[in-house]
Chains A and B, each alone.
Chain A
Amino acid sequence: MPSGVELGIIVLSLKVALVGVACSLPPAIFFAYVLARTDFPGKTLLDALVHLPLVLPPVVVGFALLLLFGNKGLLGAWLADWFGIVFAFRWTGAALAAAIMGFPLMVRAIRLSIAAIDRRLETVARTLGGSRVWVFASITLPLALPGIVTGGLLSFARSLGEFGATITFVSNIPGETETLPLAIYTFVQTPGGDAQALRLSLFAVVLSIAALIASEWLTRRSRKTAGADDRR
């Protein structure tokens, strides 16, 4: 059983990952739809931009986030002044880093499942009187659900393991930004901390397996509603 401190680290990690996934889901669905269904000049550029966090060293992403969303950063100062949202050295910053790092994986999975939907189904729905928005909500979204679940899980798993961007952007502050990987790293660096590091690593394994099982179950459920499986 995890101790109080360990439990705090686990809860913080889950919170960061879940908030990151939840906040990146709507924009990910938007970009996935745009990339799968539309054609416009500059699409390749947008595609590359979305994939950037996947190919850049995480430290570079973290540094970029620091420049943009730091207290003196372009967006950071503006967000803090107008909305009171602060990312720098807060758990929200860790969630932002996690969301950004998981974003390409999420978009890829959702984009694939949207591209696999027969466009003529959307056409039929339009001729049956559905507006664009309604057709998206009633046809496209439910049929893309398996991809959305997969994308969500990939991003969640990526978030749980996020290290480089997080430590660069929001540092390693116990109780605020010290997620599981950061805590393990700290214990490994501390003389005699190996046993603690091992314990935390085991919790990480348990969490990952639990996430996998949960996603399996969710995927099966969403397939059922998406009709790829038998309902009765």
Chain B
Amino acid sequence: MIDVDIEQRLGSFDLKVAFRAEAPIVGLFGRSGSGKTTVVNALAGTSRPRRGRIVVNGETLFDSARAIDLPPNKRRLGYVFQDGLLFPHLDVESNLLYGLRRAPAAVRVIDPEHVIQLLGLKALLHRLPDKLSGGEKQRVAIGRALLAQPRLLLMDEPLASLDVPRQSEVLRYIEQLRDDLHIPIVYVSHAVGEITRLADTVVLLADGKALAYGPVDEVMGRIDLRPHTGRYESGSVLETVVAAHDLSYGLTTLRFDGGELVVPNVEALVGERVRVRVRARDVSLALAHPEGLSVLNVLPATLVAIATEEGPIVDVQLRVGKLPLTARITRRSMHELALREGQQVYALIKAVSLDRRSVGYA
């Protein structure tokens, strides 16, 4: 449980952020300059808010009214920076153990052997940081933060300085440690893809304010927040369970509250939870159930809202079962189909449009 209510002035920039989140992974999402890093620094105790309160798992880390301000070394929050920031004069092993050696014996629950194995660091232990690749550095940084036995892990754009293959490598490791160590994570990013793949709860920051917070599919699916979540990236997130594999075609059926989705290339086992991000532009609409069509996923849906903005492109908010889904169509199609709120339609999603990067472990 993270309860943040802080005010801070940074030059001409006024930050006033309040949110409350309880989830394995809380996403802190916003454009650069929205105040994400300021919030993380306030959490970590490396910058002091002018006023406010920060409570993590019932422990007050900062409260201006009660004059509580724990120094960073007493807060036990593992901070993973964008570029790793390994200590250049220490080898990987000493980097990993730096925090562990300072942690009180009573709170030592995360075992070095386990972390080294989990993050695949065995072969790197005696190397110096400048002999590591970007992805390796980031894994060591995560391991180092974990071994300081934190009550919460803060990750500030941990993938931003990595190329795409390294990003998915590190993402896999983050998903593994979430499932394995049950450490809550505050994950900061300006990339919708990372937030929707990892986070359960999202806090949307813009211009130093928390505009919205709540379940990731709810916040990211809201049409009124789209100027901040981004138009190009807009889409929806479906929480699903693997129902069956069709080995002859290499397809997987995912079941969710309200329907099924056929997707290629899923590595998860039957029964495992996976999260699928469907881009709005990959969703088409039909008034009747179409016949003779190559599209595998035809889902009955209710039209909930139509975005009011001008321009040739319109986003339509649907509900499939209990889950929200956004479709992006042209204004002309909207008029020709005479779409209106409350209407029953069919949402069409090509299985091919759901690539490996849109599916992650939940």
Contact = CB atoms under 8 A, between A and B. Distances in A.
A137 B85 CA distance: 18
A225 B44 CA distance: 29
Given A129-B102, A130-B102, A134-B102, A124 B89 contact: no
Contact of B88 (A123, A126, A131, A226): A226
Contacts of B128: 227, 230-231
B103 to A, nearest CB: 6
Contacts of A204: none
Contacts of B71: 126
Interface in B276-316: none
A110 to B, nearest CB: 16
Interface stretch (B72-80, B116-124, B170-178): B72-80
Nearest to B79: A127
B164 to A, nearest CB: 25
Contacts of A134: 102
B161 interface: no
A228 interface: yes
A14 interface: no
B158 interface: no
B352 interface: no
A139 B144 CA distance: 15
B90 A126 contact: no
A196 to B, nearest CB: 48
Question: Which bracket fits the contact residues of B?
Answer: 20 to 34
Interface in B98-156: 98-99, 102-103, 128-131, 144-145, 148
B81 interface: yes
B75 A125 contact: no
Contacts, number: 71
A128 B89 contact: no
Interface in A89-136: 118, 120-121, 123-131, 134
A226 B89 contact: yes
Given A125-B98, A126-B72, A134-B102, A143 B89 contact: yes
Contacts of B64: none
A142 interface: yes
Interface in A203-232: 225-228, 230-231
A143 B73 contact: no
Contacts of A225: 89
A138 B101 CA distance: 12
B85 A124 contact: yes
A123 B78 CA distance: 11
B19 interface: no
A99 to B, nearest CB: 28
Given A120-B81, A134-B102, A126 B87 contact: no
B155 to A, nearest CB: 12
A134 B98 CA distance: 11
A120 B41 CA distance: 11
Interface string B243-280: 00000000000000000000000000000000000000
A127 B72 contact: yes
B46 interface: yes
A128 B88 contact: no
A226 B75 CA distance: 28
A227 B94 CA distance: 13
A139 B95 CA distance: 11
Nearest to A117: B88
Contacts of B130: 227
B85 A120 contact: yes
Contacts of B88: 121, 143, 226-228
B98 to A, nearest CB: 5
Contacts of B102: 128-130, 134
A39 B357 CA distance: 47
A123 B72 contact: yes
Contacts of A139: 87
Contacts of B103: 129
Contacts of A126: 45-46, 71-73
A227 B148 CA distance: 23
Contact of B73 (A127, A138, A142, A228): A127
Interface in B37-89: 44-46, 71-73, 75-79, 81, 85, 87-89
B109 to A, nearest CB: 15
5 contacts: A125-B98, A129-B102, A130-B102, A143-B88, A226-B89
Given A121-B87, A127-B44, 5 more contacts: A128-B144, A128-B148, A143-B88, A227-B87, A230-B128
Interface of B: 44-46, 71-73, 75-79, 81, 85, 87-91, 98-99, 102-103, 128-131, 144-145, 148
